[in-house]
């Protein structure tokens, strides 16, 4: 298998190429730009065939063009970031509502104001309720693998929903790392051409997509999406397992558990910060602390069952949120707590708000968080529920 | 109903229907007529995109469709982008687009969805040169939401958010000339058309299918509900709009303008004949009418000059 030292953005572009996407519509925004630039380069170099590139005039139109293309049966890809994703918001609902499996890479970037181009998960998490599946990549390898799996999962007849693959601004998008790429034939075997359930090109049986849904029917349309999301959990695990068996990198767990078997304290989070956390876990383990990491790969659909299984066996969960829902708390924390209510799993949970707008989270920071959690567990009570960890005081 | 061969021979537009009875337009709806002609011209090998507008409703709720052709309902401001995406998909998948036996990609949007919220996507569609047709059916207000003014509403018109009354809070701005904005993009083909002149409209539709690159047609489509006009006056109104030069028929191709007026040399009829048939102009004073008449003639002279110079 060819190994390449590439950025997260290039990993995304190569994955789109290897997935043989047919339509790419995109609008430039930092730090996403190098994804679409690389795809344009593939076309210019004659490295791809039957790929139409639509350089649209806004992100809103990028998603609109993608849904049009997807409705006409094409395998469709785009990428964006922050403000661009926010501008797309309306059309994200449209893609999911019309059951169009568009795949999009979102480069997590903080929302303005103040202007920021650095990492923060608020942009993608604000799209939580649009009906998109969300995969958070820890490193460039996971960006590449995630995009390939996203097509297979989203286009699965039992899912038929759009999928967002999320990578961190600069930490992944512009940082070079070794990525194990697949041969084109391997990808072709894993990911055959898209077979749409329906297409606007069915001229003999014309129908309309997205017509007015009256109160007599709208409700059922929503239920079918809800059901497809539940079904997607099974498909995600199947596809993740198949990927592991074929290529050696297993994605059958929706929450990647790292040294949690006998752990008292688990650090839970999403995306690139979990790389740092795993490194910290290794160090603490060597010092004799029973800690582990739980990386939430799929935020939508949320792996409720996997979280419950984990929560049953640990004493405390430190949820690290690189995001914040104003007026409430970190979003992953909020979700995780909600899931465990009404169950018999009742670990102490504390929310650490970290890394907003690109602030670094170091191994030493994780150490401080670990010792704080240790104290809490020894005492058996929380000092406070939400900790703005980096706050300058 | 079977049409006798001798009658069929005399028809100036195709007898085949691809726009079914049972659609839900109001009586006398110009837009419904327009849709019927487009479907007659292109048949079912056509992919339609319709944003939020009256036609969303006219086509019928799920699971019904009055169209014998695939139809994608989309968000208000996205017509230009969606038809661009559909065209790109067809090309990537190896379909023949346009031409005699090719697939026709049609965006069908109202004046609000075109002149206002959809203008950016329309501009993108034109500028990138997609092989498709964008039809703006112009009924001069947001009719589906209850008759609010759009930038295509004419000076002096009553709408529900320019309601007239004591303070005379009427529309005070002239109609936005979307066709001029379109032509500034130097599209492959642009034209105005009217439901009162179906042969002219059909000819333009056929032309749009043969020309490479993006086409745009602004179709004048009266709305009895919003215009406060009798439902049997739709064609008469649409014809008067042309005869008064309020909505002149012309086409633009390769930098050239061509007038398609029934009698382009005849002097336009007085605008009042057109205005007085519509309740929406009832708040206009004599002075208002003069202002609008003056605007119409000025625009008409300008258009004639363009046709003369760039004919």
For chain B, count helices (H), then strands (E). Answer: 12, 8
Instruction: Identify the pLDDT of residue B4.
Output: 84
Query: Structurally, how many domains does chain A consist of?
Result: 2
The distance of A224 to chain B (nearest Cα, Å) reads 15
Which letter does DSSP use for residue B216 in this model?
Answer: E
Q: Which CATH code for domain B24-310?
A: 3.40.50.970
In a domain, A214, yes or no: yes
pLDDT band at A203 (very low <50, low <70, confident <90, very high): very high
| Number of other CB atoms surrounding residue B51 within 10 Å | 27
A239 and A283 in a common domain: no
In a domain, A289, yes or no: yes
Half-sphere exposure of A187 (CA within 13 A, CB side): 24
Contact B70 A207 (CB under 8 A): yes
Chain B residues within an 8 Å CB radius of A25: 81, 84-85, 88
Which letter does DSSP use for residue B45 in this model?
Answer: S
| DSSP structure string for A168-209 | ETTTTTT--EEEEPPPHHHHHHHSPPP--SS-TT-TTS--EE
The distance of B39 to chain A (nearest Cα, Å) reads 13
Determine the Cα–Cα distance for residues B159 and B153; give it in Å rounded to an integer.
Answer: 9
In a domain, A359, yes or no: yes
User: Which residues, in sequence order, are CB contacts of B306 under 8 Å at separation 6+?
Assistant: B257
A233 and A272 in a common domain: no
Chain A residues within an 8 Å CB radius of B74: 64, 67-68, 94, 210
Last residue of a domain, one of A195, A223, A247: A247
Cβ contact A61:A95 at 8 Å: no
Whether B84 and chain A come into contact, CB under 8 Å, resolves to yes
Cβ contact A152:A23 at 8 Å: no
A348 and A217 in a common domain: no
A216 and A297 in a common domain: no
**Model pLDDT for residues A239-269, shown as the tens digit of each residue:** 999 999 999 999 999 999 999 999 999 999 9
Instruction: Identify the pLDDT of residue B6.
Output: 84
Whether A182 and chain B come into contact, CB under 8 Å, resolves to no
Whether B75 and chain A come into contact, CB under 8 Å, resolves to yes
Cβ contact B97:B42 at 8 Å: no
Model ipTM? 0.96
Q: What residue ranges do the domains of chain B occupy?
A: 24-310
Determine the Cα–Cα distance for residues A335 and A205; give it in Å rounded to an integer.
Answer: 43
Distances (CA, A) of A291 to A257, A283, A286, A319, A373: 11, 10, 10, 13, 11
A165 and A235 in a common domain: yes
> What's chain A's average pLDDT?
97
A141 and A92 in a common domain: yes
Contact A206 B80 (CB under 8 A): no
Instruction: Identify the pLDDT of residue A29.
Output: 98
Cβ contact A103:A151 at 8 Å: yes
Contact B89 A76 (CB under 8 A): yes
Instruction: Identify the pLDDT of residue B279.
Output: 97
Measured over the CA atoms of residue B177, residue B178, residue B182 and residue B184, the dihedral's sign is: positive
Closest residue to A208, CB basis, from B65, B75, B127: B65
* Nearest alpha carbon to residue A163 among A210, A224, A214, A100: A100
Closest residue to A74, CB basis, from B82, B89, B128: B89
* Nearest alpha carbon to residue B86 among B132, B117, B126: B132
CATH number assigned to the domain comprising residue A226: 3.40.50.970
A271 and A171 in a common domain: no
Residue A339 has which token pair?
Answer: 């899931």
Contact B88 A50 (CB under 8 A): no
Please identify among residues 218-257 of chain B the ones whose CB lies closer than 8 Å to any CB of chain A. Answer: none
| DSSP structure string for A232-289 | HHHHHHHHHHHHHHHHS-----SEEEES-TT-SEEEEE-TTHHHHHHHHHHHHHHTT-
For tokens 């009719």, name the residue. B143
Query: What are phi and psi for residue B29, nearest 5 degrees?
Result: -70, 125
Cis previous bond, A113, omega within 30? yes
Residue of B nearest to A65 (CA): B85
A242 and A262 in a common domain: no
Chain A residues within an 8 Å CB radius of B78: 60-61, 64, 91
A268 and A218 in a common domain: no
Contact B81 A71 (CB under 8 A): no
pLDDT, tens digit only, all 311 positions of chain B: 678 888 878 899 999 999 999 999 999 999 999 999 999 999 999 999 999 999 999 999 999 999 999 999 999 999 999 999 999 999 999 999 999 999 999 999 999 999 999 999 999 999 999 999 999 999 999 999 999 999 999 999 999 999 987 777 788 889 999 999 999 999 999 999 999 999 999 999 999 999 999 999 999 999 999 999 999 999 999 999 999 999 999 999 999 999 998 877 789 999 999 999 999 999 999 999 999 999 999 999 999 999 999 98
**Radius of gyration (C-alpha) of chain A in whole angstroms:** 21
Instruction: Identify the pLDDT of residue B5.
Output: 84
A265 and A242 in a common domain: no
Which letter does DSSP use for residue A5 in this model?
Answer: E
Residue B233 has which token pair?
Answer: 């006056």
Instruction: Identify the pLDDT of residue A43.
Output: 98
**Model pLDDT for residues A271-289, shown as the tens digit of each residue:** 999 999 999 999 999 999 9
Half-sphere exposure of A63 (CA within 13 A, CB side): 30
Half-sphere exposure of B181 (CA within 13 A, CB side): 19
Distances (CA, A) of B233 to B31, B265, B274, B289: 14, 26, 11, 21
Instruction: Identify the pLDDT of residue A1.
Output: 67
A231: containing domain: 3-247
* Nearest alpha carbon to residue B251 among B169, B183, B162: B183
A92 and A141 in a common domain: yes
Last residue of a domain, one of A224, A247, A270: A247
**Model pLDDT for residues A223-234, shown as the tens digit of each residue:** 999 999 999 999
pLDDT band at A4 (very low <50, low <70, confident <90, very high): very high
Half-sphere exposure of B120 (CA within 13 A, CB side): 12
In a domain, A393, yes or no: no
The distance of B273 to chain A (nearest Cα, Å) reads 39
Closest residue to A57, CB basis, from B64, B92, B123: B123
Whether B91 and chain A come into contact, CB under 8 Å, resolves to yes
A337 and A214 in a common domain: no
Whether A130 and chain B come into contact, CB under 8 Å, resolves to no
Cβ contact A309:A336 at 8 Å: no
In a domain, A152, yes or no: yes
Contact B85 A25 (CB under 8 A): yes
| DSSP structure string for A302-370 | --HHHHHHHHHH-SEEEEEES---TTS--HHHHHHHHHHTTSS---EEEEEE--GGG----HHHHHHHH
Cβ contact A102:A132 at 8 Å: no
CATH number assigned to the domain comprising residue A314: 3.40.50.920
* Nearest alpha carbon to residue A85 among A154, A134, A41: A134
Determine the Cα–Cα distance for residues B102 and B262; give it in Å rounded to an integer.
Answer: 31
Cβ contact A61:A90 at 8 Å: no
Choose from A20, A206, A216, A217 for mutation: most chain B CBs within 10 A: A206
């Amino acid at each position: 298998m060819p190994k390449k030292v590439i950025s997260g953005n290039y990993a995304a572009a190569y994955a789109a190429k290897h997935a043989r996407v047919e339509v790419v519509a995109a609008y430039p925004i930092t730090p996403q730009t190098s994804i679409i630039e690389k795809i344009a380069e593939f076309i210019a170099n004659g490295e791809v065939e039957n790929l139409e590139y639509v350089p649209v005039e806004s992100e809103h139109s990028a998603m609109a063009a993608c849904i049009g293309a997807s409705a006409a049966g094409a395998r469709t890809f785009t990428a964006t970031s922050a403000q661009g994703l926010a501008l797309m918001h309306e059309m994200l609902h449209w893609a999911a509502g019309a059951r169009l499996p568009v795949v999009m890479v979102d480069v997590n970037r903080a929302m303005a104001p103040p202007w920021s181009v650095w990492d923060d998960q608020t942009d993608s998490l604000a799209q939580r309720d649009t009906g998109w599946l969300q995969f958070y990549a820890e490193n460039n390898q996971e960006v590449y693998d995630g995009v390939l799996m996203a097509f297979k999962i989203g286009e699965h007849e039992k899912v038929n929903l759009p999928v967002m693959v999320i990578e961190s601004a600069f930490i992944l998008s512009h940082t070079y790392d070794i990525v194990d790429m697949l041969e084109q034939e391997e990808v072709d075997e894993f990911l055959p051409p898209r077979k749409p359930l329906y297409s606007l090109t069915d001229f003999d049986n014309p129908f309309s997509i997205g017509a007015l849904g009256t109160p007599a029917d709208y409700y059922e349309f929503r239920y079918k999406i809800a059901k497809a999301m539940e079904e997607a959990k099974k498909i995600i695990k199947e596809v993740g397992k198949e990927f592991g068996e074929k290529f050696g990198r297993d994605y059958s767990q929706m929450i990647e558990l790292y040294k949690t078997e006998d752990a008292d304290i688990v650090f839970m989070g999403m995306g690139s910060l979990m790389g740092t956390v795993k490194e910290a876990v290794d160090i603490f383990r060597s010092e004799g602390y029973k800690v582990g990491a739980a990386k939430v790969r799929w935020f939508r659909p949320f792996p409720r069952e996997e979280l419950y299984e984990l929560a049953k066996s640990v004493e405390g969960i430190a949820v690290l949120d690189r995001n914040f829902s104003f007026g409430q708390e970190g979003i992953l924390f909020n979700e995780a707590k909600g899931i465990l209510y009404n169950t018999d799993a009742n670990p102490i949970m504390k929310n650490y708000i970290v890394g907003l707008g690109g602030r670094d989270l170091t191994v030493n920071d994780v150490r401080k968080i670990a010792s704080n959690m240790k104290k809490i567990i020894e005492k058996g009570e929380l000092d406070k529920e939400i900790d703005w960890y980096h706050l300058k005081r | 109903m079977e049409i006798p061969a001798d009658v069929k021979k005399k028809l100036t537009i195709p007898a085949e229907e691809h726009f079914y009875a049972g659609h839900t337009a109001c009586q006398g709806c110009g837009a419904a007529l327009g849709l019927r002609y487009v479907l007659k011209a292109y048949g079912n090998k056509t992919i339609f995109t319709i944003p939020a507008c009256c036609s969303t409703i006219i086509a019928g709720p799920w699971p019904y469709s009055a169209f014998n052709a695939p139809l994608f309902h989309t968000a208000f401001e996205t017509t230009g982008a969606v038809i661009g995406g559909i065209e790109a998909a067809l090309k990537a998948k190896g379909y023949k687009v346009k031409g005699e036996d090719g697939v026709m990609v049609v965006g069908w949007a109202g004046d609000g969805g075109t002149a206002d919220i959809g203008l950016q996507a329309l501009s993108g569609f034109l500028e990138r040169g997609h092989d498709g047709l964008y039809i703006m059916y112009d009924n001069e207000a947001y009719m589906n939401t209850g008759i609010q003014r759009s930038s295509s509403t004419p000076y002096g018109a009553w709408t529900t958010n320019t309601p007239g009354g004591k303070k005379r809070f009427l529309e005070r701005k002239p109609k936005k000339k979307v066709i001029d904005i379109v032509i500034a993009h130097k599209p492959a083909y642009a034209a105005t058309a009217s439901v009162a002149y179906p042969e002219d409209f059909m000819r333009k539709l056929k032309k749009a299918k043969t020309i490479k690159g993006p086409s745009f047609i602004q179709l004048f489509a009266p709305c009895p509900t919003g215009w406060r006009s009798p439902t049997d006056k739709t064609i008469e109104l649409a014809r008067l709009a042309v005869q008064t030069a309020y909505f002149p028929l012309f086409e633009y191709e390769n930098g050239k303008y061509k007038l398609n007026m029934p009698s382009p040399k005849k002097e336009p009829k007085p605008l009042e004949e057109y205005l007085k048939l519509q309740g929406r102009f009832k708040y206009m004073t004599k002075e208002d009418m003069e202002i609008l008449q003056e605007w119409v003639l000025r625009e008409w002279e300008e258009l004639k000059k363009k046709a003369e110079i760039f004919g």
